[in-house]
Amino acid sequence: MTLDDLSLEPTIYLLPECEGKEEAIECLREVCTEIFEEQLDGWYRVPSTWPAERDLHAFLIWFEWGLHSMIIDLGDDPIEHEEI
């Protein structure tokens, strides 16, 4: 699997509603370590080999990311989520 393959099916994380990009980045700052570790665990399950720094700065270097202000759920069933 290549990075191009991963970009075809990105993982989407929902943040609380934010007033703008700056507020969204602050929300991301609060959860970026959890997202970072979940992604690393999916790639390589040896935490001792993971980068020591998993803060927002490292997150922004390691990952391609984007913010989207609207998501529309067209399904009939409630959205299920897993706590990370």
SS3 state at 43? helix
Give the model's pLDDT for residue 70.
84
Kindly compute the dihedral angle of the four CA atoms of residues 39, 43, 49, 52, in this order, to the nearest 10 degrees: -20
Give the C-alpha separation, 35 to 15, whole Å: 12
Give the C-alpha separation, 37 to 47, whole Å: 9
Q: What is the pTM of this model?
A: 0.76
What residue ranges of the chain have pLDDT lower than 50? none
Give the model's pLDDT for residue 3.
65
Give the model's pLDDT for residue 6.
65
Give the model's pLDDT for residue 43.
86
CB 13 within 8 A of CB 31: yes
CB 32 within 8 A of CB 59: yes
Give the model's pLDDT for residue 84.
61
